Amino acid sequence: MDIGLLLLRLTVGLTLAAHGTQKLFGWFGGPGLDGTGKALAMLGFQGRRHALIAGLVEAGGGVLLAVGFLTPAAAALVVSVMFVAAVSAHIKQGFFMSSGGYEYTLVLGVAGLTVAFTGPGALSLDALVGYSMSGALWGVAALFVGLVGGAIQLAQRRPAPTLQTVS
């Protein structure tokens, strides 16, 4: 079980960390802060500011999840950023990723949240330092904090700018 949890944490956590560094630094072919900021502005967010927030949450939450440290907080960060992504960019396209839907964000968010319920396993920094934070209470708390954090970001959205034609 511990190896399975390690594989889950590493896969989901490092995937999110890579996405975050795409936003923050343009690594792995990403757009960096400017490109991400422009894309987020088209979705009604405060461009570069929200690009920085999303990048930090993805990278930081991903690394914390991958190493299994402060696992419920890591899960809350993962839930938060995936909730915002799903609602702001993907839900209108339906479920499947092939149509630009929220399938992928849902899987990453729930996979991250799962670790808050189960705990990170013995092969984690939490286990190494003696933290024991798992179970229904921690999972529900991570879900709640993640959804509230995401809702705060979504509440800051403004209607996306529209392109006007000049006649």
How confident is the model over 42-80, as pLDDT tens digits? Answer: 999 999 999 999 999 999 999 999 999 999 999 999 999
What is the pLDDT confidence band of residue 160, given thresholds at 50, 70 and 90? low
- Distance of alpha carbon 31 from alpha carbon 48, whole angstroms: 12
CB atoms within 10 A of CB 9: 26
Residues near 31 by beta carbon (within 8 Å), at least 6 away in sequence: 22, 23, 38, 39
pLDDT tens readout for residues 105-116: 999 999 999 999
Residues near 163 by beta carbon (within 8 Å), at least 6 away in sequence: none
**Residue 167: CA atoms inside 13 Å, Cβ hemisphere, count?**
0
Task: State phi, psi for 98 to the nearest 5 degrees.
Answer: -60, -20
Choose between 118 and 163: higher pLDDT.
118
Angle among Cα 58, 99, 35 to the nearest 5 degrees reads 40
Give the type of residue at 125: L
Average pLDDT, the chain: 94
Portion of the chain with pLDDT greater than 70, in percent: 95
Over residues 21-46, mean pLDDT: 96
Question: Which tokens belong to 85?
Answer: 């992504």
